[in-house]
Amino acid sequence: MEQSLKKRLDAAKEQVKEPEIKGHAIDGLERFMEDTRHMLVFDVLMWECPVGDKGDRMRVFLTDEGYQEALESQKRGEMKIIRHAKIINGSIHYDMQEKVFE
């Protein structure tokens, strides 16, 4: 019975696969740079987006200035932020609540 439950769980995971995340690796050097303060995961909505291609899901580590630019890009409709985390000395601190990034 345990084996059949495992098979059903594996099948369910296959059906709801998350899109591949492109961009910076979760353990990349960008995360540990002295001025890195934010991590974003976002969907690229338009070809005009400065990072990635339309349809991509991206992860980037950003400075405070880069984060403000990302918020402006979202206001222009070029991307949709899915997840935000603060970076403190290379440690990732995810936002506790799901926010609407507008």
Q: Where are the domains of the chain?
A: 19-94
Which of 52, 68, 71, 62 is closest to 31 using CA atoms?
A: 62
Is the confidence at residue 88, as pLDDT, over 60? yes
pLDDT band at 8 (very low <50, low <70, confident <90, very high): confident
pLDDT band at 101 (very low <50, low <70, confident <90, very high): low
- Whole-structure pTM over 0.95, yes or no? no
Is the confidence at residue 87, as pLDDT, over 70? yes
pLDDT at 55: 94
**Separation of alpha carbons 74 and 95, rounded Å:** 18
pLDDT at 100: 53
28-47: pLDDT as tens digits: 999 999 999 999 999 999 99
> What is the distance of C-alpha 27 from the center of its chain?
13
